[in-house]
Structure 1
Amino acid sequence: MDPTEARPAPATHSCRHSLGRGLLMALALAVPPAAIAAEPCNAGYVFENRDPANGQVVDGPGIPDVKVSDGVHIVTTDADGRYELPAVDGRTTFVIKPPGYAMPDRGNGLPDYWRNLRTQPGPPVRFGGIPVEDANCRNFPLVPAAAGDDELQVLVFADPQVKSEVDVDYYHRDIIQPLLEQGANADLGLTLGDVVDDDLSLYPALNAHTASLGVPWLHVAGNHDMDLDAGRDDDALLSFRHVFGPDTFAWEEQRATFLLLDDVIHQPGQSPAYIGGFREEQFRFLEAYLPTVPVERLLVVALHIPLFEPDGRDTFRDADRERLFTLLSRFPNVLLLSAHNHTQQHVFHDATSGWQGSEPLHEFNVGAVCGAFWSGVEDAQGIPDTTMADGTPNGFARLRVGAGGQYALSWHPARLPAGDPALTEAMALHAPRVLRRGAYPAWGVYANVFMGMDDSRVEFRIDDGAWKPMRRVERPDPRLLVENVRDDEAIALRGFDRSPEAQPGKHLWRGALPTDLEAGEHRVEVRVFDPWTGEQRASTTYELQDAGE
């Protein structure tokens, strides 16, 4: 315990409210009444919830050996389920949910695993921060959950980044409503930051839509989730924490352990205004927690800013990355999930980025729910196309975790148009509509394979002929280039914001189209061998014409 931190009196069965009458009288004689009322309590019970209507009232047996933390210290509950932590104003206390249990609802659809301790007003921020509340003892109920042998199913959202009620409506109709119609089929949900686009007053409206899925949902903070008027990094997530709880915490399932980290360092008055990294207290939490985590489970580390630095830009503090990698090196199965870039790619860390493990460390940089910031031409339902700059359609990911730390990932575009074989969940194809028969074969079919990696096997064939390999290229997706040209040539806005400028991506393949075939239409079929979802196909056509037709 820090010498500056006051430790509260040990908790009894109902914390301070169950103190015996004689002890209460003695306290009343020894301590002024105002001092008793002001004394904060950061202790209580973790118990088995037998009557959800009673909320925090202990109505079941205490649960031993449950980890409880304030983001710096970690304690485990005793044989009776009691815990006690230093009462430090401004910190957030949370239960690290153990496998075999679920968390009850806070009343707004979010799991009830945390409380903020705030007895004195904090720094004033535009969106309110953490309000002063009664600092009574806090009991945490856990609901027993049957442990099965099925895969763990996780929905992964990145960057909803709504800036208005209009965007909140897009989020509902483009992402949430289709999931409700299909069935969410998930045990857990993650949002990897930039829940909103600086307007933190939109949290309740957005959360109401997410909560309608009926899935326990955890949130990482992004650079657009900060109190931008905070004078220091320590205060930059006060309003976020008021709604969503701790910014650095853990959550345990039978198949996987989830470590959710704030990795945005607020730098008020500097340029850039933020950088990727971690605070010292976060490392104190990690150093206390990670040695307790079983290595046979998959360890999922969820954060907002990627740990890789694109194009050599200095976006993350190298020392913080290497320190995190050292802490993770004991785990044989680690998956990093990041967001922020509004493009999608897989990165495998090795010694060049500070990873010293025997196998490369996989980071999946997840594409954005909002795609290119809810931009582009609206469809018949009034929802913008919002394809990302690398040609990936907006949507969300799924993570499936099986036994032994094995996992599978998939990308799910939002509301694919029906009847277009060139645009599937796995890829989008682009080919010229017509070529001159006998011309030099300088034109190709392009396949943007949304989950593609450097070594992905991608092949194409013409008219049911022999399969031929396609070549990975780092070029802008021509499908998006077409939209760029249409925006350039338009004399009026085609949408609220135009589509993003096409940028080279990491998952585009090309195959040269033959021109020595008969005149007429020819079918192009592309297949990709996805390691997690199996063989996926898409198709398109092009026509060969003789000159002068």
Structure 2
Amino acid sequence: MKKVLLSAYALLCSIPFMAQTNVQGFVFEDHNQNGKKERNEKGIVNVSVTNGLEVVLTDEKGRYILPISDDAIIAVIKPANYRVGVNENNLPQFFYNHKLKGSPQSKYKGVNPTGKLPESVDFGLVPQQENQEFTALIFGDPQPYTQAEVDFFAKGIVAEVEGIKNVPFGLSLGDLVGNDLALFNPYIKAVKKAGIPWYNLLGNHDLNFDATTDEMADETYEAHFGPANYAFNYGKVHFIVMDNVLYPDPRNQKGYWGGFTPKQLQFIANDLKLVPKEHLIVLAFHIPISETEGDSFRDADRDQLFELLKDFPNTLSLSAHTHIQRQDYFGKTEGWLQEKPHHHYNVGTTSGDWYSGKLNEQGVPVSTMRDGTPKGYAFINFNGNQYSLDYKVAGKLKTYQMDIFAPKVVEKGRSTRSGIYVNFFMGSKNDSIQYRVDQGEWKAMEYVEEIDPSYATTVYEWDLTEVLIPGRRSSNPTESKHLWRGKIPTDLEIGKHNIEIKAIDQFGKTYTETASYRLENHK
């Protein structure tokens, strides 16, 4: 093992890096959980430690050594069956922020000067039994622009999961706040009430916009949350969390673009070299790698990412950003290098349509998204290296998985251009949606990419009202990627007719919902 470490270190030193010195330390079993290595606390072998580029394994004594610059973050990659400590806000403390002179001056404060590097930067881990069956809680885009919106987030989302049981950790997929980085602390205090360790990643509204380089755009984020690029393990799942917001946009130095830097791709490559091929690789970032709205992601970076993943048969990637919800699948046509397509889940947001819409009984905006997906949050259920997904609509029972739109009344015997629409919130065009009327024959519904009529009616109510509605008008509808249509039978008897919907998702789970319409003759 010592020879391997020395060889690896010689190789690392040959790579160009702004290294002024080396960092070394131990990863150890922190039995008294005080964060300090005691003489009787043994080191842990074969744990990955990174400086944000290189990744090395600890030796038999738990020791590691890495090159380091005066502006770097050293982080341990949590192994399975261990946990890292959390601070008073339930934020995992798996890193050491080393900024000799601190962050550059900016509108929002970054990291204070850390001074001289300690002789040993140690990471204490606590042994724990990790079941291979577990569930992670996922938030998309909390994105409050004001303290009032932080309160909406806390009351409408976090309150539902406060003190949640049997969920070992949560993750927010970026846009933790909306440009005002002073809201990081109120956001942290809100999520703390979930009562579980909470990981975060950086979104395009979490940046230091006065930064002139991409490397300096996450200084305030780092001061609150640590590295913007990191990894950890739980059971047989390896999580890679990345900042995929390039700011300023390298094409014109204005705005941002989705993508990865060469250093980030090298970090992923170095990290994956030490991960068993049969493990499930879950990548989490903010901007979807599928281009849902124009040229939002640099294609070459997605291709390089797929090249790094080609030998891992079990993969999933997560994003948010769009304020809609969709399931994307990448095959060979899209650059994926395996027979089984890669699944990318663009998660619906906890802020929904940016805290718009009518106010519910709690005084919180309903904030349905433009594709008709109600605001909410996701659960990923893991079983070894396999997974399934659930979406929980805020304020509704967990069984509420679809919305049905149908006319209230239709003329008997006359064909109509109206239809029965089903918005299956977690669906994709690969799913099976069936319907029947009055216990009749089950028929397949037609997958369509249209605006959700249920959502459209709620939006245009704001334009037609003669009395001001409390709240704020929602965004205009956009095409939904999980919408189905069926014809309305008009050749039945006068009166009420019951509609049943049966949806089967990609994981084989079946959901049902009912609605009705009436047939009448003109008087």
TM over 0.5: yes
Quote the Cα distance in structure 2 between the aligned partners of 1:4 and 1:402: 41
Quote the Cα distance in structure 2 between the aligned partners of 1:89 and 1:3: 11
Tell me, yes or no, if structure 1 residue 307 matches structure 2 residue 294.
Answer: no
Tell me, yes or no, if structure 1 residue 130 matches structure 2 residue 111.
Answer: yes
After TM superposition, list the pairs within 5 Å mapping 1:147-546 onto structure 2: 147-149=130-132, 151-180=133-162, 183-267=164-248, 270=252, 273-310=255-292, 313-403=294-384, 405-416=385-396, 425-491=400-466, 493-532=468-507, 534-546=509-521
**Displacement, 1:460?**
0.9
Quote the Cα distance in structure 2 between the aligned partners of 1:340 and 1:494: 28
Judge which range, 463-472 or 332-341, deviates more.
463-472
Give the match for residue 87 of structure 1.
68
Q: Which runs of 5+ in 2 are unaligned?
A: 1-12
1:238-257 CA-partner distances (Å, limit 9, x unpaired): 11011111111110112200
1:271-303 CA-partner distances (Å, limit 9, x unpaired): 751001111211221221111111111100111
1:140 counterpart letter in structure 2: F
Question: Among 138, 146, 159, which residue is 2:129 paired with?
Answer: 146
Asked whether the 8 Å contact 1:163–1:197 carries over to 2, the reply is: yes
Question: Among 11, 19, 27, which residue is 1:5 paired with?
Answer: 19
Aligned to 1:225, what secondary structure does the other structure show? coil
1:68-108 CA-partner distances (Å, limit 9, x unpaired): 11101222222222222223122111000000101111232
Quote the Cα distance in structure 2 between the aligned partners of 1:407 and 1:532: 9
**Displacement, 1:267?**
1.4
Distance 1:409 1:495, change over 3 A: same
Asked whether the 8 Å contact 2:157–2:376 carries over to 1, the reply is: yes
Quote the Cα distance in structure 1 between the aligned partners of 2:394 and 2:85: 30
Asked whether the 8 Å contact 2:135–2:381 carries over to 1, the reply is: yes
Aligned to 1:50, what secondary structure does the other structure show? coil
Distance 1:520 1:503, change over 3 A: same
Aligned to 2:462, what secondary structure does the other structure show? helix
TM (norm. structure 2) is 0.93
Distance 1:253 1:490, change over 3 A: same
Quote the Cα distance in structure 2 between the aligned partners of 1:66 and 1:498: 51
Question: C-alpha root-mean-square deviation of aligned residues, in Å?
Answer: 1.8
1:141 counterpart letter in structure 2: G
Aligned residues: 505
Identity %, equivalent residues: 35
Computing the radius of gyration from Cα coordinates, the structure with the larger value is 1
**Displacement, 1:534?**
1.8
1:11-51 CA-partner distances (Å, limit 9, x unpaired): xxxxxxxxxxxxxxxxxxxxxxxxxxxxxxx3222111111
TM (norm. structure 1) is 0.89
1:409-429 CA-partner distances (Å, limit 9, x unpaired): 11111002x7xxxx9521011
Quote the Cα distance in structure 2 between the aligned partners of 1:257 and 1:277: 21
**Displacement, 1:444?**
1.3
Aligned to 1:91, what secondary structure does the other structure show? strand
Question: Among 35, 38, 54, which residue is 1:73 paired with?
Answer: 54
**Displacement, 1:265?**
0.2
Aligned to 1:112, what secondary structure does the other structure show? coil
2:194 counterpart letter in structure 1: L
Quote the Cα distance in structure 2 between the aligned partners of 1:435 and 1:131: 68
Give the match for residue 7 of structure 2.
none
Distance 1:354 1:438, change over 3 A: same
Distance 1:523 1:64, change over 3 A: same
2:465 counterpart letter in structure 1: A
Judge which range, 366-375 or 205-214, deviates more.
205-214
Quote the Cα distance in structure 2 between the aligned partners of 1:295 and 1:529: 30
After TM superposition, list the pairs within 5 Å mapping 1:44-83 onto structure 2: 44-52=25-33, 54-58=34-38, 60-83=41-64
Asked whether the 8 Å contact 1:370–1:386 carries over to 2, the reply is: yes
Asked whether the 8 Å contact 1:375–1:495 carries over to 2, the reply is: no
Quote the Cα distance in structure 2 between the aligned partners of 1:264 and 1:205: 23
